[in-house]
Amino acid sequence: MTRVPFVAGNWKMNHTATAAGQWCDALRERLAAAPLPDGLELGVAPAFPALPRVAAEIAAGLPLTLIAQNAHRELSGAFTGAVSVPMLLDVGCRRVILGHSERREIFGETDALIARKLRTAVENGLPPILCIGETEPEREAGRTEVVLEQQLQRGLAEARAEQLDELVVAYEPVWAIGTGRHATPEQVSAAHAFVRATLAGILPPEQAARLRILYGGSVQPGNAEPLARLEEVDGFLVGGASLEAASFEEIARATARAKGLEGA
Ligand code: PGA
């Protein structure tokens, strides 16, 4: 089963449009000096005001998938401060992150809301990266699998299987996000195998086998390669280390090497 490895940067509330332009310049220079092999997808999720700036770079040839960090559950209406799926598509987004632990914890998003947003996204042609992951107390209580299964089942509850061909799942243990403590290869391997088995219970197994499962949580140039060597790891969702084009590109290169892409 070949799944195209995917390395996606999540800038969170960082980088103005100007800084995003500088990041794109730096990435372009690095790729011109040392091209990345084919068969690897790169993506970046800027804050909303920086989306048009990065979209222009992509239109000019920078090989990135433009990702939104969030979207509203409705298509339009009286929702001051919110951004809708059609707005994101119009500006060039081709994916949206849903269910990030910061949205769950800081903004109080529930599985039910995430499911509703996910339905809106897939019905309107914006495939999601659905983030799931356990907290440290949940892991210590031996509840990791229960939490992952619930978040998957509830998050996908409103979508139909045929709408989920482009679904990406990001396994992001909350205790590893922004802490410098990444999960061990054993923990990642076990969690990803569990996520895939759970997906195979929700969706037709052939479809579940085709979906990409990313790992996220303190991914750095120095730890990406052993994690990317794991069969069930199809790439990464990278926060802090994606803010610099250099470290983002190093993680992409390490992933290409680990996956044995030609020319890596
Ligand atoms: P981190 O963030 O790489 O800074 O740990 C990952 C994420 O939140 O997706």
* Per-residue model confidence as pLDDT tens digits over 72-113: 999 999 999 999 999 999 999 999 999 999 999 999 999 999
Whether 263 shows a pLDDT value over 90: the answer reads: no
Ligand 1 and 84: CB distance under 6 A? no
DSSP-assigned letters across all residues of 152-166: HHHHTTTS-GGG-TT
pTM equals 0.97
What is the percent of the chain where pLDDT is above 90?
97
How many whole angstroms from 204 Cα to the centroid of ligand 1?
Answer: 30
Ligand 1 and 10: CB distance under 6 A? yes
Told to judge if 172 belongs to the known catalytic residues of this protein, a careful annotator would answer yes
Burial of 149 (0-12, 13-18, 19+ CB in 10 A): middle
Whether 229 shows a pLDDT value over 90: the answer reads: yes
Tell me the mean pLDDT in the region 238-262. 97
CATH class of 6-258: alpha beta
How many whole angstroms from 71 Cα to the centroid of ligand 1?
Answer: 19
Tell me the mean pLDDT in the region 218-233. 97
Q: Catalytic one among 41, 102, 134, 172?
A: 172
Domain boundaries, the chain: 6-258
Whether 156 shows a pLDDT value over 70: the answer reads: yes
Ligand 1 and 218: CB distance under 6 A? yes
Ligand 1 and 174: CB distance under 6 A? no
Ligand 1: which atom is nearest the Cα of residue 179?
5
pLDDT digits (tens, 9 = 90+) for 196-221: 999 999 999 999 999 999 999 999 99
Told to judge if 100 belongs to the known catalytic residues of this protein, a careful annotator would answer yes
pLDDT score for 1: 61
CA distances in angstroms from 88 to 18, 65, 71, 182, listed in the order given: 19, 13, 8, 31
